[in-house]
Structure 1
Amino acid sequence: MKEWVERKYHVVKGTTEEIALPVHVGDIYGSSSPGDGGDQRVLVGLLQNLEFGVMGSQPHVLVVPFPAQGHVAPLMKFSHRIVDHGIKVTFVSPEFIHKRLKTTMPMKSPIRLVSFPDGLEPGDDPNDTMKLTNSFLEVMPGHFKDLIKKINEFDDERISCVITDGMVVPALEVAEKMGIKMAVLCPAGPATLATVLSIPKLTQDGIIDTQGTPLKNELIWLSTEIPAWTSTKLSWSCPGDSKSQEFLFGHVIRMNHFVKQCNWLLCNSFYEIDSLALNLIPEIMPVGPLLLANQSGSHIGSFWPEDSTCLSWLDKQPMDSVIYASFGSTSIFNQQQLDELALGLELIGQPFLWVVRSDIINEALSEFLDRFRTRIADRGRIVNWAPQEQVLAHPSIACFLSHCGWNSTLEGISMGVPFLCWPYFTDQFQNKSYICDVWKVGLGLNPDENGIITRHEIITKMKTLLFDDGIKTSALKLKEMAKKSVTEGGSSFKNFESFVEKIKH
């Protein structure tokens, strides 16, 4: 049975005052059997920590991220920023993601968390991103519309705007039909977004077909001043995996419509770092790097508990000595590649901190890591997940061995850390081009004829990077530019203030 509780909390001079609001509290699933319509009855919403200042005149936004770490994190950080500016935020995610967020959110967070059914069947793997996303997007529109209707019954709670990263198209479709303003916060870099918006021209020019598959193996130029990349390295390309590519490209095509129709188009970047690509999208408002503007901690929006004990280990290491290796939330290496990576880290002779996610550790990998720990002793540290912003800001860090996801790229830039680039898929290859060829703050690793990054390649490039003063100087310059952009008077600071004012009026 559904259980609705009319309760919301309003902080007034240190006391808690109850105000009526329909909230579906708890993970309450009415018992049902196949075919009895039980899945139609379920609307799961957990609104937590409803503590705000003055009520009544505050705008109220719904934030709905694509259910992946690289999308949830920037939208959660953005949510904390706008809450700090007097805007109420309800953060919507599928149940599987919601449970993870609850474990990493601060106890007194002003963000209200709401979960919808993720649509997964018993026995489905919640780590299967494509299955999770498809099932969530299929079941969420009805629940999302119901949520908005329930909230809008109360005048001081009416939804002012729906904010997504653009990939949750059903949320934008609901908002459009209900006449609610829409904002899209792009979690990728400006050049990637410009490429996505160029899909009609790429199709017209015969570079890709209507499924996004390259028809020509050639360089693509958005502008003579922007780095070219090969047609096989497009952000939606999944060579050898047609189902994943069809999934990604389909979402990208639908997203394009709403990127052009939304009231505000934002991105987690700053003008000074890529003005040429940003100029191709005149309506865009860069508001990043969000991490520098956010004071709530790097754990905000994290799917996994962070092992902060690595910070005390870093305290014991010499300045500019530690190699930090982390490959994001989706990269997976086969055993041969893991062997080469481990040997590269071992033989380089530098202390290192290596992130190996818990969701990819099986019995064989666990035994492999145990043997590796025995060999390296105290010279290296392996953790399941790290407080990355704090790690990159630590004075002992010498370089970042990274997959070049956009969030990691911005974090490394913002901390002034040189990169050793190991892109895995989607936009990461384009980010690598910027890191190495435009900003000149890193070097790229090249696979051998079998597609393997060898220990020799890792050691050679790492030694070159560690002694390249030019790269270090460039990295520190970008750090200052990033910091300036989000401080008062900076380009991103002004854009953010402008967005907040438009939401309020």
Structure 2
Amino acid sequence: MGSAGFESATKPHAVCIPYPAQSHIGAMLKLAKLLHHKGFHISFVNTEFNHRRLVRARGPEFTNGTLSDFQFLTIPDGLPPSDEDAIQDLPMLINSTRNNMAGPFGDLVLSLGSNPSLPPVTCIVSDGFMTFATSPVASKYGIPLIHLFTIPGCALMAVKHLRALGEKGLAPLTGHSYEHLRVFSDYTTHFLPFDDFARICMHADEFQLTSGHGNTPIDWIPGMKNMRLRDMPHFFRVSSSDDTLINFTIDSGHKTDDATMTIVHTFEALEPDVLQALSSMIPRVYAIGPLHLMIDQIAREKVFASRHIECNLLEEHNECLRWLDSKEPKSVIYVNFGSIAFMSHQQLVEFAIGLANSNQCFLWVFRPDSVNGDTTTLPKEFVEKTRERGFLSGWCPQERVLCHPSIGGFLTHCGWNSTIESLSAGVPMLCWPCFADQLTNCKYICDDWGVGLEMDANVKRDEVERLVRELMEGQVGKKMRRKAMEWKERAEAASSEKGSSFMNLDKLLDEDPLTMMSVASSKNALNLKITTSLTVEENIRYNSFAT
């Protein structure tokens, strides 16, 4: 297969299904575009809930002009259609998708494979956190399963070792009560509603994770150096081993063996040690990224039919780009805490006054639902001080913003899409991680890659002011900016036509489908009948969908 494209008259057919959250959808769509460019027919599966969000954000015509060989499909997820915020309640989202998606996804794949007007289904490209729906279907029908992890290799490795934390007595956290968590509610509500505090402490049990316990060395994970307990994904910070989030995450980390091949959205030069360690644990691991740079590379050199296809759940506002055009180079700090994370009203005030007192220009992406349970009223002092040097936006085209010459820094939650886009643009970061892999990402940003400064979870205006000034004007900020530019060059090299990421994509596509079927069948104890008079693609259809 490879870069020369497919010579067969019958296109290979990839069914792509992301986890139903903005960053996961965006990364999967980019991979789907790359596969389409390589000759695949794409069936991209969204949930009905997110399809409604897409219609609200992009209009009912968002799929108009979609190519005949790039189709969007939907399946139910069980989320209430009237609750626009349901996707931000992770326990609800996890339980609903696990209970409602597997059956409809199997029916959809069967329907696609039985449709004579479509190419046979060649593979399922599944988000690494969608295995509860995709693994049974791939096993039942003997279809090769490709996992896409939209987190870095370091976070995937950490996730695979969460169970070991419990085995070593490091999790779940114990010894402090629900009443204790109530006291610190303002400083632990970055993400979950207040009622979930009894189960999960988002940043720290003040006495356990900010004391010696949080600094407990985690020196037994392959490929990861100088890790502390507090650097592990937040899912271990629970009071019960029955918690939905930690069990879902552990299960996902241990289902990597279900995949015929695994893609990690990273690049080899960024994480050589951990990628090497992963390759000894997971068969056929490929570092492919940054995905957006790979798409840009193709678009610069060749006709790229699917480039216009987008799938943003939030409406983007481009006015901020014109505002950035009026600013001096490297003079603006970009502030965005992602599509899900919450903050309390007091945290909002601390960030606002800190930004105002820093005297720096800023572009702040501020979702209407950013503040948990409170009105999003900004302090009058902030509005008066920043009228001429600040811009607030509901959402924005982040890749274009980070590449704008006026951007000099990024105050971020350390989500992986934001992190890899910032590295690709050569922009240093102020880190305020909220949950999930963001804590691990933060550790690598600051300690391993040398392009970030960590902000205390208990955010205070004086620290915001000091760190923003240091990033934008100080010697430490200048050093990090130089380091960030080095990572930009390495990211561009990896995503060049002859770079490691395109080479890995071609290696993945050059895998023999017959071998892929054999691997999948041996893992799942299926007895596939291979008919020599049929093509490999016809065999996949014959064995998967014959009734």
TM range (shorter): 0.7 to 0.9
Q: Is the 8 A contact 2:345 2:371 kept in 1?
A: no
| 1:115 paired to 2:78 | no
Q: Is the 8 A contact 1:221 1:229 kept in 2?
A: yes
Q: Is the 8 A contact 1:328 1:403 kept in 2?
A: yes
Could you tell me which amino acid in structure 1 is paired with residue 502 of structure 2? F
Question: Which stretches in structure 1 are left out of the alignment for 5+ residues?
Answer: 1-52
User: 1:439 and 1:108, CA in 2 relative to 1: closer, same or farther beyond 3 A?
Assistant: same
Corresponding residue for residue 21 of structure 2: 68
Corresponding residue for residue 33 of structure 1: none
Most deviating of 55-64 and 393-402: 55-64
**Structure 1 residue corresponding to 2:224, chosen from 208, 211, 226:** 226
| 1:170 paired to 2:133 | yes
Cα shift readout 1:44-66 (whole Å, capped 9, x = no counterpart): xxxxxxxxx99951111111111
SS where residue 358 of structure 1 aligns? coil
Most deviating of 315-324 and 76-85: 76-85
Q: CA deviation at 1:311?
A: 0.1
Distance in 1 (alpha carbons) for counterparts of 2:80 and 2:373: 26
Q: CA deviation at 1:382?
A: 0.4
**Structure 1 residue corresponding to 2:340, chosen from 327, 330, 340:** 330
User: 1:194 and 1:222, CA in 2 relative to 1: closer, same or farther beyond 3 A?
Assistant: farther
**Structure 1 residue corresponding to 2:36, chosen from 74, 79, 83:** 83
Cα shift readout 1:208-234 (whole Å, capped 9, x = no counterpart): 469999996522124586343332443
| 1:126 paired to 2:86 | yes
Q: CA deviation at 1:273?
A: 0.5
User: 1:56 and 1:71, CA in 2 relative to 1: closer, same or farther beyond 3 A?
Assistant: same
Corresponding residue for residue 95 of structure 1: 48
Cα shift readout 1:450-504 (whole Å, capped 9, x = no counterpart): xx21111112122222233221111100000000001122111100112233377
Corresponding residue for residue 137 of structure 1: 98
User: 1:503 and 1:287, CA in 2 relative to 1: closer, same or farther beyond 3 A?
Assistant: farther
Q: Is the 8 A contact 2:79 2:86 kept in 1?
A: yes
Cα shift readout 1:247-276 (whole Å, capped 9, x = no counterpart): 222222322343112110111000000101
| 1:415 paired to 2:449 | no
Could you tell me which amino acid in structure 2 is paired with residue 144 of structure 1? F
Residue correspondence of structure 1 range 254-293 to structure 2 within 5 A: 254-282=251-279, 283-293=284-294
User: 1:107 and 1:503, CA in 2 relative to 1: closer, same or farther beyond 3 A?
Assistant: farther
**Higher relative contact order structure (alpha carbons within 8 Å, sequence separation ≥ 6):** 2
Q: CA deviation at 1:196?
A: 2.0
User: 1:97 and 1:242, CA in 2 relative to 1: closer, same or farther beyond 3 A?
Assistant: farther
Distance in 2 (alpha carbons) for counterparts of 1:201 and 1:366: 41
Q: When you count strand as a share of all residues, which structure comes out higher?
A: 1
Cα shift readout 1:120-164 (whole Å, capped 9, x = no counterpart): 346545343432332233122221111112111235422111111
Distance in 2 (alpha carbons) for counterparts of 1:493 and 1:148: 28
Corresponding residue for residue 456 of structure 1: 462
| 1:294 paired to 2:271 | no
Could you tell me which amino acid in structure 1 is paired with residue 456 of structure 2? N
Question: Which stretches in structure 2 are left out of the alignment for 5+ residues?
Answer: 1-5, 175-198, 201-207, 297-305, 515-547
| 1:482 paired to 2:491 | yes
| 1:149 paired to 2:110 | yes
Distance in 1 (alpha carbons) for counterparts of 2:166 and 2:489: 40
Q: CA deviation at 1:305?
A: 0.8
Could you tell me which amino acid in structure 2 is paired with residue 113 of structure 1? F
Q: Is the 8 A contact 1:163 1:184 kept in 2?
A: yes
Could you tell me which amino acid in structure 1 is paired with residue 86 of structure 2? P
Q: State the TM-score, normalizing by the size of structure 1.
A: 0.81
Count of residue pairs brought into register by the alignment: 448
Q: Is the 8 A contact 1:162 1:182 kept in 2?
A: yes
Q: CA deviation at 1:431?
A: 0.9
SS where residue 304 of structure 1 aligns? coil
Most deviating of 251-260 and 455-464: 251-260
Q: Is the 8 A contact 1:184 1:266 kept in 2?
A: yes
Q: CA deviation at 1:187?
A: 0.8
Q: Is the 8 A contact 2:411 2:430 kept in 1?
A: yes
Aligned CA RMSD, in angstroms, stands at: 3.0
User: 1:135 and 1:226, CA in 2 relative to 1: closer, same or farther beyond 3 A?
Assistant: closer
SS where residue 135 of structure 1 aligns? helix
Distance in 2 (alpha carbons) for counterparts of 1:76 and 1:252: 22
Corresponding residue for residue 153 of structure 2: 190
Corresponding residue for residue 12 of structure 1: none
User: 1:496 and 1:231, CA in 2 relative to 1: closer, same or farther beyond 3 A?
Assistant: same
Distance in 1 (alpha carbons) for counterparts of 2:227 and 2:505: 31
Residue correspondence of structure 1 range 417-456 to structure 2 within 5 A: 417-447=427-457, 452-456=458-462
Residue correspondence of structure 1 range 466-505 to structure 2 within 5 A: 466=472, 467-468=474-475, 469-502=478-511
Q: Is the 8 A contact 1:59 1:503 kept in 2?
A: no
**Structure 2 residue corresponding to 1:401, chosen from 390, 408, 411:** 411
Distance in 1 (alpha carbons) for counterparts of 2:406 and 2:329: 4
Q: State the TM-score, normalizing by the size of structure 2.
A: 0.75
Q: CA deviation at 1:370?
A: 7.7
User: 1:454 and 1:227, CA in 2 relative to 1: closer, same or farther beyond 3 A?
Assistant: farther
